[in-house]
Amino acid sequence: MWMAKKYNLIIASLFVCWLGKVNGQPKTSDSAASHISEPALDSSVKRNSSPFIIGDIFVEGNKKTKPYIIERELPFHRGDSVYLPDLVKGFEVGRQQLMNTTLFNEVIISVKAFRGYMVDVFIEVKERWYLFPIPYVKAIDRNLQEFLKQGIGVDRLNYGFKLNWNNVTGRNDKLRLWLITGYTQQIQFLYEQPYADKSLKHGYKIGFLYSSNKEINYNTIDNEQRFSDTMGGTNRWYAHLDYTYRPGLRTFNAVRLGFVREEVGDMVLEANPKYFSHNKNRILYPELSYVISHFNVDYRPYPLTGWMGEASFLKKGINKEMNMWQLAGKMTKSSLFARKAWYAWQAQGVLRYPFDQPFINQRMFGYGDMYLRGLENYVIDATASFLVRQTVRRELFNFKVPTHLKSRSHSHIPFRIYAKAYADLGYAHNPTNPENSLTNRMLYTGGAGIDVVTFYDLVIRFDYSFNQLGENGVFLRIKGDF
């Protein structure tokens, strides 16, 4: 009987080792770890053997990252009891969590050894480069199309120096120091420490921003931004302190207290009396926000399977000069429906109250990740909106290009290329300023394109889109949200 149990244990051990050798790239097709035949495995293991105990956890390749920061991302810990199928699932969850920290290029989690019913785990990581003191040049417009429309020139470029230092102390903390000139004069400082206590659940952020522009977007006319460099420009000061709380693996909470000071030239108010409330050219106000987000996806920058969501509350100002309540939500879900083919949908919504808001609080579609693919040439002001996106993707190529660097973690650059088709639907509600034609009506677009996913979470999107205005064209986005 003992020999039979020993033989079964050896077979099971080899099986888990084979399943646990998961590579560091996000999943692009069926994998053994994510498509285990659970009923068969449960019947052969759970009925005929005892659970295993997690023994030692060995980490290799972490020259900078603290081992306990890596173990923070695992769904199991030393001393836990676990059955073989659950252990294999835990390996894949842990790999995804570690990749989503953006600390590593590759992650492998596997069984190191069995000691009776004790199992030791081995984690191998390839760390990214964390320090980037680089010169900075970037167009100031919302997207490439807007930059081309406004006219190519150095006067619409920001340039300067950016210091991005990730994983400063090995605890996944971040330091940002930007010194920018050109179109915008900007000084920005940010330090983020997500794990400030021994429990690795509580953290903080502290930030400061000063920016000054000679040119100002003073209004929206015919669904387009209108700029002027003869109205005195704008100055903005912003400081904030955040408290962050992460109780488990996938849910994040953040509370922010900020203070804002903005000033524009008198001529801005002559051109647009609603730029600020009550015809003032200088405002000072506090803001308070709360954000809760949940991530259960294979790869956050370009999710193919799983879901992620976010809900937020924002209060800007406490008097008549600035008074806005905002509720917002966003959810994305992606799933595999055929070999190397995925379907994804995303829904977003924003509500601001009261509806009668100054111009600076009405920016909606065309800013940040609130846009319809095919309407990138336009902006739509509103105080309430919703947006639904649907996308079908098919992997075309998955390959690696050698760098010929003598670096264990940067010996090659991975590329994944996808073909896609999509359709978007949206609505922007603006009862107080309905003069632009794209407000207060259903909006819909569609198209097809190519996505390129590569090193350091870089996503390049080439879209050929159509919209309800009868327009079509090619649009380029780099490191978009969806």
pLDDT over 80 at 182, yes or no: no
pLDDT over 60 at 54, yes or no: yes
Give the residue among 38, 67, 300 at the shortest CA–CA distance from 170: 67
Query: 218 is written with which tokens?
Result: 């003073």
> DSSP secondary-structure letter at 372?
-
Per-residue pLDDT tens over the stretch 13-26: 444 444 444 334 44
Q: Tell if the pTM clears 0.75, that is, is over it.
A: yes
Per-residue pLDDT tens over the stretch 296-323: 999 999 999 999 999 999 999 998 889 9
pLDDT confidence band for 140 (50 / 70 / 90):
low
DSSP3 helix / strand / coil % (the chain, rounded to 5) = 15, 55, 30
What region does 172 belong to: left with phi over 0, alpha with psi -120 to 50, or beta?
A: left
pLDDT over 80 at 39, yes or no: no
- Show me where the domains of the chain are located: 2-127, 194-381
Find where tokens 């295993």 sit: 52
Position 308: which residue type? M
Residues 6+ apart with CB under 8 A from 355: 383, 384, 429, 430, 431, 432
Query: 301 is written with which tokens?
Result: 């920058």
pLDDT of residue 459: 95
pLDDT of residue 407: 81
pLDDT over 70 at 145, yes or no: no
In the chain, what percentage of residues exceed pLDDT 90?
71
pLDDT of residue 213: 86
pLDDT of residue 160: 83
In DSSP notation, 245-265 reads E--SSSEEEEEEEEEEEEEE-
Q: Give me the sheet containing 104-115, strands edge to edge.
A: 81-82, 52-60, 118-127, 104-115
pLDDT confidence band for 428 (50 / 70 / 90):
very high
pLDDT of residue 10: 38
- Top-level class of domain 2-127: alpha beta
Per-residue pLDDT tens over the stretch 385-405: 999 999 999 999 999 999 888
pLDDT of residue 278: 82
pLDDT over 90 at 229, yes or no: no
Per-residue pLDDT tens over the stretch 247-286: 999 999 999 999 999 999 989 999 999 999 888 899 999 9
In the chain, what percentage of residues exceed pLDDT 70?
85
In DSSP notation, 163-220 reads EEEESSSSSS-EEEEEEEEESEEEEEEEEEES--STTS-EEEEEEEEEEEESSEEEEE
- Residue 399: how many other CB atoms lie within 10 Å: 10
Pick 417 or 48 by higher pLDDT: 417
